Amino acid sequence: MDNNRLMRIMFYCGLMLTSTSCALSPQTIQISPLIGAGHTAPANNTRLAIEVRDSRQSEVIGYRGGIYDTASISTAGDITASLQSEIARVYRDLGFQIAEPGAASDARLAITVEQLNYTARQNNLLWTIEVSAIINAEAISGSRTTSNKIEDRLSKEFPKSPSVAQNAYLINDVISRVLERIVQDPAMLNALRTR
């Protein structure tokens, strides 16, 4: 094979790789965590009010890569409803009685999503994806407040830019891991148990 032909093949291969990295489209991710509670003592029907807030400034959590920052990755709409539902399910399984909004309660749990971040790096033919989350929790019982801010991150390599389903799995996994650490924190549980 002569040098000119080899150079042309290399040029077209490079062009194909470049066009692939440019052609990434935006993705919108549904947040639906799944939390494991672990093994803890029951809460004896303590009435617990749960409030979930999202203090992020934007639904965009990062960009999928490519030459231009046009392939954003965002969370879909208001993420607090799905978080509230899953967190309430776990604490109900732990023996808490979940109070309706505005109703009287023995203790209150305030969960605030502070950061969700997504970073994509392409090195040779591999994509390295890093996802991180920071969530703050406050357990309020009477005049006592117990706080715990948890950060977690994970990194995974892919042979090509991840699909919506793959990214959704990564993002929900890191959120679930943070929430599990909050739920399983003995100090937080003790603060919420009032009976």
User: Six-digit token pair at 15?
Assistant: 């062009």
- Per residue of the chain (195 residues), what is the pLDDT tens digit? 566 555 554 544 444 444 344 468 999 999 999 998 776 666 677 899 999 999 999 999 999 986 666 799 999 999 999 999 999 999 999 999 999 988 999 999 999 999 999 999 988 889 999 999 999 999 999 888 999 999 999 999 999 999 999 999 999 999 999 999 999 999 999 899 875
Q: Structure pTM?
A: 0.84
Give the integer Cα–Cα distance in Å for 61 and 157. 19
3-state DSSP assignment of residue 42 = coil
Residues 6+ apart with CB under 8 A from 21: 65, 66, 67, 122, 161
The total number of residues shown for the chain amounts to: 195
